[in-house]
Every structure is written in C-alpha cells, then in structure tokens.
Structure 1
Amino acid sequence: MKNKQLCVKQKVVKIHAYKDFNLLTKKILQSCWQGLINFLIPSEEPQVRQRVTRQGDIYWEVYDPATGKYFTSGSEIEMRIWIEQLYR
C-alpha cells in the first residue's frame, strides 16, 4: 500500500512541476514577444502593466516613454490619477 501511495505522490509532484514549467515558459515567451513588439513599434503612449508579487499582492507599473517617468502603485486609482496628471 505504501508503494502505491508513494508512486501516486511522485506522479502528482511531477505533474505540478510540469505545469509550473509550462507556465514559466509561457510567461518568458510572452515577455520576449512583448519586448520585441515594443522594440519594433515604439509608442509614445504610457505602458501600463499589472504585476503580482511573490506574496500574491497586485500592483501597477506605469512607464511614460514621452517623459521617461516611471510610477508604481498598489492602487489602480492612484495609477489612473498619475496618468491623468501627465496629460493636463
């Protein structure tokens, strides 16, 4: 019985590792693709990204290529206000 439980646990661990690897690979490819697009088609519009910390907290990063300014906030409202103030 212990052998079967160990075998099942090992398979579950392998499946989770495989899913994590696929997720990581997908994120890396998305990031590379977005970087290539940004390089080939530069934009003067603010670039907004929603990020997640290792603890699972969501925060916002904004970059304005026209001014070279960066802004980071844990609040979507603060991020929107910062963008609006750029264009007043």
Structure 2
Amino acid sequence: MANQNLGNNYLGKVKDCFSIITLLHENLYFWQKIKGKMGGLFHSLLDIFTYCNEPRISRKISRYGDIYFEVYDPVSNQNMNFGSEQEVKMWLEQKYYH
C-alpha cells in the first residue's frame, strides 16, 4: 500500500511538471505571436513612411522549433514561406533576375 502511494505521488509530480512545461510553452508561443504582430505593425508603419519595392525577408522559428523564411513581396503584395535559405535564393533569382 505504501509503495502504491509512493508511485501515485511520483506520477502526480510528473504530471504537474508536464503541466508546468506545457503552460510555459504556451506562454512562450503567445509572446512570440505578440512580438510577431508588433513587428508586422512596425513594418506596416515603415511601409507607409518609406515605400520600398524590394522584398522583405525574415528568418522565423515555428513553435515546433523549425526554421523557415517569410518573404513579403510588396510588388505583388504576397507573403510566402520557404523552408530554406536556398529556396528563397531560387525564388529571388527567378522573380528578379530572369
């Protein structure tokens, strides 16, 4: 009986740790989204005051830790995501140098 209570206490503590880690991860993701929205607002204001027709490229990290590149093309008013720097370079060469 004592071993079962000890096991239940251990499992309860493990569950509590996972709950805390999950909560911290969700809070981190929330603040990253806020930061991204504020960055987007800043870029929008910057666009209003200084129009530039060159693409804007941002290196991003997904909530799963994967790196990707977000490209905004003001000429076509499109946002695109690429999985690697090489893909961005290929798109730039195709779009602007051919």
Q: Which bin holds the TM-score, normalised by the shorter protein?
A: 0.5 to 0.7
Deviation at 1:5, TM superposition (A): 0.6
Show the counterpart of 2:46. Answer: 41
Partner secondary structure for residue 36 of structure 1: helix
Q: Do 1:71 and 1:79's aligned partners in 2 also have CA atoms closer than 8 Å?
A: no
Deviation at 1:78, TM superposition (A): 3.0
Aligned with 1:86 (options 67, 87, 96): 96
Superposition misfits of 4+ residues, deviation over 2 angstroms: 49-61, 66-75, 81-85
TM normalised by structure 2 equals 0.63
More off after superposition, 65-74 vs 26-35:
65-74
1:2-42 CA distances to partner (integer Å, 9 max, x unpaired)?
23212311221222122112211211211121121022111
Supply the AA of the counterpart residue of 1:86: Y
Higher relative contact order (CA 8 A, sep 6+): 1
**Residue 33 and residue 79 in structure 1: after superposition, are their counterparts in 2 closer, same or farther (change >3 A)?**
same
CA RMSD of aligned residues (A): 3.0
1:20-71 CA distances to partner (integer Å, 9 max, x unpaired)?
1221121121112112102211152312234556876544332221343555
CA distance in 1 between partners of 2:32 and 2:60 (Å): 12
Show the counterpart of 2:86. Answer: 77
Give the % identical residues: 31
The answer for unaligned runs of 5 or more in structure 2 is 1-5
